[in-house]
């Protein structure tokens, strides 16, 4: 068995090569390796055989124009012609092809020569009606879209309503502020009156207090004078009699003054 000297490519590299997706350099290397290495060729051939046994894409409900079959599948040894549906099973000879082409050409010219002239008027009326219906549909659609646009235009009213309500609210607010200021003024005048009364009251009280103090001093002095005149201890007299001078604590001596 002949084997290549170089390292064997891995499965991923072979897969890319199998589906013609490896780059040029890699492809060249793998081609030469495939030709030289029996081990790898055997492995890859087994893969080819297995893949050829899978149902081909053409057998499934797929658009056949989208299907591209790798080249190796078409030339896979001994299997492709039987198992893949897209590969023709029977070879068609060139004579058969020529006959078929001849028949097609003859049929074409025969058809051309025997066919009647197309009815232009009928075609025109058909085309006209078709165009009219199509135009109607398009017009309907555009009208509907315009109606939809108009409906969306109703949203323009919202800012108007908002501005109007804002004006009403501001007028109400200014009225309220005006009334409030009047009330404030009234309240201020009342407060000023109360304050004046308090000031007057305080002044009266202070006057009273000063007068009372002056009276007390006067009384003390009188007491001192009296004590001096009667040779009694003035301090004792003062200590014992200070409270007696207070209003509401009246006794006989107060009556004397």
Partner 1 sequence: MTIPPTNSKPIFQTSVLADWTDEAVMLRVCEFKDTVAFGELVWRWQSRIQVLCLRMTGNWQDAEDAMQETFARAFSGRAQFRGESRFSTWLWRIAIRSSSDICRRRRPADGLETVTSVSNDPDPSIAADNLERRDAVATALDRLSEDLRIVVTLKHFQQLKFREIADVLGIPVGTVCSRMAEAINQLEESLKSYQIKERES
Residues that bind partner 1 (CB under 8 A): 10-16, 19, 21, 46-47, 49-51, 53-55, 57, 59-63, 66-68, 82-83, 85, 89, 138, 141-142, 145-146, 149-150, 152-153, 156-157
Q: Least CB distance from residue 141 to partner 1, whole Å?
A: 5
Q: How far is the CB of 52 from partner 1 (least distance, A)?
A: 11
29 contact partners, CB below 8 Å, separation of at least 6: 9
Q: 21 vs 244, which CB is nearer to partner 1? A: 21
- Write down the H helix ranges in 37-156: 38-53, 71-74, 80-83, 94-114, 120-153
Residue closer to partner 1, measured from CB, 79 or 220: 79
The DSSP secondary-structure symbol of 79 reads T
Q: In this structure, are residues 220 and 244 in contact, taking their beta carbons and an 8 Å threshold?
A: no
Q: How far is the CB of 2 from partner 1 (least distance, A)?
A: 23
* C-alpha to C-alpha distance for 164 and 170, rounded to whole angstroms: 10
Crossing angle between the packed helical segments 38-53 and 24-36, to the nearest 10 degrees: 110
Query: CB-wise, 119 or 130, nearer to partner 1?
Result: 130
Give the nearest distance from C-beta 132 to partner 1 in angstroms.
16
Report the residue number, 142 or 200, with the smaller CB distance to partner 1. 142
């Amino acid at each position: 068995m002949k084997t290549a000297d170089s390292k064997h490519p891995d499965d991923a590299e072979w897969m890319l090569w199998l589906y013609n997706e490896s780059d040029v350099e890699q492809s060249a290397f793998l081609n030469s390796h495939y030709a030289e290495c029996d081990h790898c060729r055997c492995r890859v051939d087994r893969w080819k055989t297995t893949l050829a046994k899978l149902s081909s894409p053409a057998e499934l409900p797929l658009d056949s124009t989208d299907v591209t079959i790798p080249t190796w599948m078409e030339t896979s040894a001994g299997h492709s012609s039987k198992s893949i549906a897209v590969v023709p099973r029977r070879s068609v000879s060139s004579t058969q092809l020529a006959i078929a082409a001849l028949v097609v050409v003859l049929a074409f010219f025969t058809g051309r020569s025997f066919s009647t002239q197309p009815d232009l008027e009928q075609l025109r009326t058909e085309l006209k009606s078709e165009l009219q219906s199509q135009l109607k549909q398009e017009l309907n659609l555009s009208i509907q879209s315009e109606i939809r646009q108009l409906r969306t235009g109703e949203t323009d009213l919202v800012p108007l309503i908002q501005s109007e309500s804002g004006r009403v609210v501001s007028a109400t607010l200014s009225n309220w502020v005006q009334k409030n200021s009047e009330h404030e003024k009234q309240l201020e005048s009342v407060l000023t009156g109360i304050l004046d009364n308090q000031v007057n009251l305080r002044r009266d009280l202070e006057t009273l207090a000063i007068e009372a103090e002056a009276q007390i001093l006067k009384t003390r002095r009188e007491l001192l004078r009296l004590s001096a005149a009667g040779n009694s201890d003035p301090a004792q007299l003062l200590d014992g009699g200070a409270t007696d001078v207070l209003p509401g604590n009246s006794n006989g001596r107060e009556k004397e003054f």
